[in-house]
Amino acid sequence: MKEDLMDIICCPLDKHDLELEVEERDDEDILSGRLVCTECGESFPIEDGIPNLLPPDMRDEAPA
Amino acid sequence: MEDRSRAGVRRTYERIGDHFSKTREYAWPEVESFVADAASAETALDLGCGNGRHAELLAGVADRVIALDASRALLSEARARVGPRVSLVQGDAATLPLRDGTVDLAVYVATLHHLPSAADRRASLDELARVLAPDGRALVSAWSTAHDRFDADADAEEGFDTTVDWTLPGGETVPRFYHIYAPAEFERDIEASGLALHSLEISSGNCYAVVGSEGKVP
């Protein structure tokens, strides 16, 4: 994801701001890292350059 | 076994996404004319973008396009065809990860009918209203009882839930949940949401609504 996407995305749960934690980048493209909600603390992964902003109960690892 | 949850819908498209995408090569004419009529936009949203065929169209009129889908498999397909103006986001149509009032132009095509409960569907329309800018416009479509394949009364007040099998190349079938909207119900759901209805039509068995966010006080 491009860093300027931070202007438009927010936490899907409470719509508060996200904080970007970069693990790997290629120039302005963020390839992996995390987006952490500044309000509820929920963490959303950036995997293979795509932010996964699904609510946690829609992710694979969540219990059914 | 069909799994009636939004996570279940996502898993379905994770399984069939690659094959599904190959059968969804072209933009729908109704979407082409909506985008052609739109003024240029700063930010556009393709909600339920699938393989990105409509995100490509939006990129022709908007400086930046957000292409959002619940399925990673479909987003991977989209990545192969969209250009640098398009940002891919994995997300849920009923809990959008986008800030209030940031979207000038949106298409929400053939996705609403996959949300498994009436509450989810209404929540997603409210979410679209929330993210639209005050003068923003969106096109919303859903499969309707007016479609030839359903032996249903298009004048009914309520639609119905069904499953439509997707057949993979090996012959395996994967059930997909659909809520088939009665046109009256589609109109009612939009009127009940935060969206303002500008126009409504039935085309190729789908309901199409052009909506905005203005004129509604939350």
B211's enclosing H/E stretch is strand B206-212
How far is CA B27 from each of CA B30, B78, B91, B205, rounded to the nearest angstrom? Answer: 9, 13, 22, 16
Give the Cα separation of B171 and B157 in Å (integer). Answer: 37
Distance CA B37, CA B204 (A): 20
Whether A58 maps to a domain, the answer reads: no
- Do the Cβ atoms of B87 and A2 come within 8 Å? yes
Q: Report if residue A22 sits inside a domain.
A: yes
Under an 8 A CB cutoff, do B88 and A50 touch? yes
Domain extent, residue B20, equals 6-154+166-212
Which of B43, B46, B77, B99 best probes binding to A when mutated, by most A CB atoms within 10 angstroms? B99
Asked if residues A23 and A33 have their Cβ atoms less than 8 Å apart, the reply is yes
In a domain, A29, yes or no: yes
The parts of chain B modelled with pLDDT lower than 50 are 217-218
Q: Give A22 to chain B, closest Cα distance, Å.
A: 16
Return all residues near B155 (Cβ < 8 A) that are at least 6 apart.
Answer: B182, B184
Give strand pairing partners of A9. B98
Q: Is residue B92 part of a domain?
A: yes
Please check whether residue A12 touches B, CB under 8 A. yes
In a domain, residue A18? The reply is yes
In a domain, A44, yes or no: yes
pLDDT tens digit string along B172-184?
Answer: 888 888 888 999 9
Residue span of the structural domain in which A30 resides: 3-48
Q: Which stretches of chain B are DSSP H helices?
A: 6-22, 29-37, 53-59, 72-81, 118-131, 183-192
Judge whether B159 lies within some domain: no
Is residue A40 domain-resident? yes
Q: What is the CATH number of the domain that holds A22?
A: 2.20.25
Do A8 and B66 make contact, defined as CB atoms within 8 angstroms?
yes
Q: How many domains does chain A have?
A: 1
What gap in Å lies between CA B91 and CA B28, rounded to an integer? 23
What's the average model confidence in pLDDT over A39-50? 96
pLDDT in tens, B47-97: 999 999 999 999 999 999 999 999 999 999 999 889 888 999 999 999 999
Interface test with B, best of A19, A53, A60 (most B CBs within 10 A): A53
CATH assignment at residue B138: 3.40.50.150
